């Protein structure tokens, strides 16, 4: 018959290595999910802001406002183009430093 496992000694309170590996792996997975959620939220806010800028009416703008709008619109289009190129090359837009998610062609 199998011998019953002895309880750990008083000074040995650490869990077995297999349990620690699972806990560390689960923690890393949770951290990655949290990072992805924060990135998704930031991307959603950025896209909403970009959409608002792109849809602005320009007929009532003075020269300075129109210049700002054109410059900002050009920056948005450049980011989307870089994100699209990164996606086509199989890179992540975030890791490529291009910004944008490339989901909306501009």
Question: Which residue range forms the structural domain that includes residue 72?
Answer: 18-96
The answer to whether position 11 is within a domain reads no
The answer to whether position 106 is within a domain reads no
pTM of the predicted structure, to 2 decimals = 0.51
The answer to whether position 41 is within a domain reads yes
The answer to whether position 71 is within a domain reads yes
Distance of CA 50 to the CA centre of its chain: 17
Average pLDDT over residues 74-103: 71
The answer to whether position 38 is within a domain reads yes
User: What is the model's pLDDT at position 74?
Assistant: 92
Number of structural domains in the chain: 1
The answer to whether position 101 is within a domain reads no
Is the per-residue pLDDT at 60 higher than 50? yes
The answer to whether position 54 is within a domain reads yes
The answer to whether position 103 is within a domain reads no
């Amino acid at each position: 018959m199998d011998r019953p496992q002895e309880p750990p000694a008083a000074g040995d309170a650490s869990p077995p290595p297999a349990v620690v590996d699972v806990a560390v792996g689960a923690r890393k997975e949770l951290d990655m999910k949290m990072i992805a959620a924060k990135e998704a939220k930031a991307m959603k806010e950025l896209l909403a802001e970009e959409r608002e800028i792109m849809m602005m009416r320009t007929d009532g703008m003075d020269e300075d406002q129109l210049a700002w709008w054109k410059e900002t619109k050009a920056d948005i289009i450049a980011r989307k183009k870089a994100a699209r190129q990164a996606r086509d090359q199989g890179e992540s837009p975030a890791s490529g430093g291009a910004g944008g998610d490339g989901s909306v062609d501009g």
